[in-house]
A and B are shown apart, each in its own frame.
Chain A
Amino acid sequence: MNQIAVVDYGMGNLRSVAKALEHVAPKANVVIAADARTMRTADRVVFPGQGAMPDCVREMDARGLREPLLAAAASKPFLGLCIGLQMLFEFSEEGDTPGLGLLAGRVERFRDDDMHDAQGHKLKVPHMGWNQVYQAQAHPIWRGIEDGARFYYVHSYYAKPRDALLRAAYSEYPKPFDCAVARANLFAVQFHPEKSQAAGLRLLENFVSWNPQ
């Protein structure tokens, strides 16, 4: 049985993520996991996140989930979503917070002074809405998803990986930023596949059947 653990560290509503996974994988056992044991036994781990990064890191540690998260990220298909992507990096400007340090790089805020489109219109922060995702490498997670498909975003911070090879996709707001990263069994996206209709469901479906070597 394919058991998928959605990591619960008290940050927001995990229901949408769990329901979307159940929708694409009706035979899988989707569990909301707030304990180390479930994360160890699960076949796959989804690491979502909502809210501010300092709170997320504090809650993760308060629940003793740092070690099991690191262990899962090193050993099984692992999908980070939104803050769950940002927390994989070394450091976030949001509250000057150290992250898990699994991936080299920083998380920075969209700079207000840079936020103009080609027509000179001011772009809003948070970056909220449906934006295009341009695939930067072939990956099983993109199977059946059109290059440039729109996904739903809500965020004010984005990751800047030090290693360009991590880039799995980028979006533009207004400059290109990396919105998906991949390394071995690890995949993480800044947007919300659980709220991105057909393209998002396809991404989750691809994750559920992904068997990285």
Chain B
Amino acid sequence: MHSRIHAFTAAVLAKRVIPCLDVDRGRVVKGVNFVGLRDAGDPVEVAKRYDLQGADEVTFLDITASSDERGLIIPIIEQVAEQVFIPLTVGGGIRKVDDVRTLLNAGADKVSINTAAVQNPQLVAAAVAKVGSQCIVVAIDAKQVAPEPKPRWEVFTHGGRKPTGIDAVEWAEKVVSLGAGEILLTSMDRDGTRIGFDNVLLRRVCDAVPVPVIASGGVGTLQHLADGVLLGGADAVLAASIFHYGEHTVGEAKRFMAAHGIEVRL
């Protein structure tokens, strides 16, 4: 340990594995193509389980539609933050800078903004000015609207229901220029399908922006997670169903990725 000589190798941040908990009215749920929800447990218990399995971060997406029930996520985040000592990201229903502050004060480390960023891009800049880039994630739900050889993806909002006409790659560049510290990129075509990430889309966005990109949507196997990093270039991979129903633990996912030459925290 004393004056230990460490070989000067690539300084590599570990690629992160992030279980995602979709939370509806206080419960973890999981849908297929953004619809058809299925109960997957108590959010605090689920988050604790992933923490023990070695998750690098946990993301909560509050998919509760009614604004009356929106506040239900706050006590959940408070409880999780008391028991889970890894970074927590919370998204869903964030409309104003005050919402960001409330979630950070409840124990979130990062807040993810989706629809409200499209409606009011200045919200991203205002939130960044208040809490710093490292706390602000912009979530992009993208759907392919033109095929190869000139593929194009469009941004959708409102949980994937509303087209915007905005090009997903250009939108990623725009929000990063406004200060977003990270992009959570979900392929709507793949979400819930279990056929793997849209690695072409991922690669486009990763090449376009200088901030970390989290791959989301479509994971069905451990190979898909590795592919998101190796083919898509993602800095982090997010998945829900393969973890929720006990098919794989986060630890298995990380060991698989490590065996494929990916730097992870084991």
Could you list which residues of chain A lie within 8 angstroms of chain B, going by C-beta atoms? 12-13, 15-16, 19-20, 23, 51-52, 117-119, 122-124, 126-131, 134-138, 142, 147, 150, 152, 154, 171-176, 194-197, 200-201
- Pick the contact of B181: A19, A126, A135, A138 (CB < 8 A): A126
Q: A150: which B residues are within 8 A, CB to CB? A: 14, 265
Instruction: Given A128-B134, A197-B86, answer yes or no on A16-B11 (Cβ-Cβ < 8 Å).
Output: no
In the assembled complex, the Cα of A154 lies from the Cα of B54 at a distance in Å of 19
Pick 20 A–B contacts, CB within 8 A, sort by A. Answer: A12-B104, A15-B107, A19-B81, A19-B85, A122-B210, A123-B11, A124-B211, A126-B181, A129-B16, A129-B235, A131-B11, A131-B13, A134-B6, A135-B4, A138-B2, A154-B109, A174-B11, A194-B85, A196-B85, A200-B85
Pairwise interchain contact B134-A16, C-beta atoms closer than 8 A: no
- Judged by DSSP, the binding face of A is mixed
Pairwise interchain contact A134-B10, C-beta atoms closer than 8 A: no
Instruction: Given A130-B56, A154-B134, answer yes or no on A195-B11 (Cβ-Cβ < 8 Å).
Output: no
Q: A138: which B residues are within 8 A, CB to CB? A: 1-2
B146 at interface by CB-CB < 8 Å: no
- Pick the contact of B107: A13, A126, A129 (CB < 8 A): A13
Pairwise interchain contact B2-A195, C-beta atoms closer than 8 A: no
Q: B164: which A residues are within 8 A, CB to CB? A: none
In the assembled complex, the Cα of A175 lies from the Cα of B10 at a distance in Å of 9
In the assembled complex, the Cα of A20 lies from the Cα of B3 at a distance in Å of 31
Pairwise interchain contact B11-A117, C-beta atoms closer than 8 A: yes
In the assembled complex, the Cα of A154 lies from the Cα of B78 at a distance in Å of 21
Shortest CB distance A140–B (Å) = 13
Pairwise interchain contact B13-A16, C-beta atoms closer than 8 A: no
Q: A12: which B residues are within 8 A, CB to CB? A: 104
Q: B56: which A residues are within 8 A, CB to CB? A: 129-130
The 4 closest A-B CB pairs, nearest first, are A118-B10, A129-B13, A172-B11, A174-B11
Pairwise interchain contact A137-B134, C-beta atoms closer than 8 A: no
Q: B105: which A residues are within 8 A, CB to CB? A: 13, 15
Q: A154: which B residues are within 8 A, CB to CB? A: 109, 134
Pairwise interchain contact B13-A130, C-beta atoms closer than 8 A: yes
Shortest CB distance A113–B (Å) = 14
Chain B window 8-32, contacts with chain A (Cβ cutoff 8 Å), 1 for yes, 0 for no: 1111111010000000000000000
Q: B159: which A residues are within 8 A, CB to CB? A: none
